[in-house]
Structure 1
Amino acid sequence: MKMIDARGKNCPIPVVLAQKAIAAGETAFTVRVDNAAAVENLKRLAESRGYQAHPVGDGEGFAVTFAASGTPTAQAASPSQHAAAGDWTVFAGRDCIGDGDRELGSSLMRMFFYTLTQGDELPGTILFMNAGVKLPTLDAQVAEHLNALQERGVKVLVCGTCLNFYGLADQLKAGTVSNMYDIVSCMARSAKVVTL
């Protein structure tokens, strides 16, 4: 049986690793994690993908065994329940998620873009304005994820006025320098805009 060691890995990496095992056709495998939140996330994934999840605690964390049990449950979203890939937009007007701890917010932002790269349903456009322009310029990890998304057809637009304001115009590592007209037009054409 395949063993996946996800101990010490932050959310959503244990779920992403399990999803990859499912996509590879594994019918039985175990994911090792070191926190109860990861166990709950893995149990939800198993249920949505037609697997039974059997978590067992041990001295080094938890082992969650997946076993294929049939078809996905009614709670699993079918592709028709999602917006079609490319008809939604992500807007980042800041360089971290939330108003709490800044270090946590920066980590969450990196994990958001990493998670996007691992999914099948991609936004058509990602827009960066105000302090958000620091992400495709100063954050190498986010820039790497953005470049991966661009390779898959996602358009990344970065406000030129904002780059100039922060003195970052010559440091763009991902995306295309854009303007307010293009940014507003992208928002207007989108079925939905997700603001970070």
Structure 2
Amino acid sequence: MERYLALELVSTIRHDGDGGVTDDLGDASALTAWVREHLPEAGGLTADDTSLRDVLALRRAVRALFARAVAPGPPSSADARRLMPAGEALAHLNAAAARVPVAPRLVWDAGRAPVTRLEPGAEPADPAARIVAELARAAVDFLAGPERERLRACTAPRCVRYFVKSHGRQEWCKPSCGNRARVARHYRRHHPEAAQS
């Protein structure tokens, strides 16, 4: 399965296995570990509270744009009630990508497919700014690329992930979600009184 950095970022919010949601970027040390795993070329960034706040704000914007990309399908259940407005998310993503000397800018007009334009950006002040810009550029590339058409929100009970559909009949992000969805469907069919309550 091909890995997409933008998808990896939004997948840091996930089902915790107990009916709740967990955040893999819960503190600066968790962000440091995640960056070292996913961006080894970052040169050993040690995240602080400011870089954590910047990455979490970017993740929120990217999740809002992922929700826009899967529409008219439903967004991830983790985002459904608290989505950042699409215009604000787009502005935030583009500002984050502009933290590097030359930055891609995502342009997504209503009724049109998104496109990328390269524009001058600001000189990054520190390694954390480069990380945020790199993550933003990965999201711009993903959303302006062909993978956006195959992006889906997993519909399995309690799952909050987005995934890239790899074949025509794929409905869930991973086999365990498919199993959970089938068990839930079987239960609803055989216990209709539970579905009504």
TM-score, normalised relative to structure 1: 0.24
Higher strand share: 1
Mark the structure with the bigger radius of gyration.
1
Higher helix share: 2
TM-score, normalised relative to structure 2: 0.23
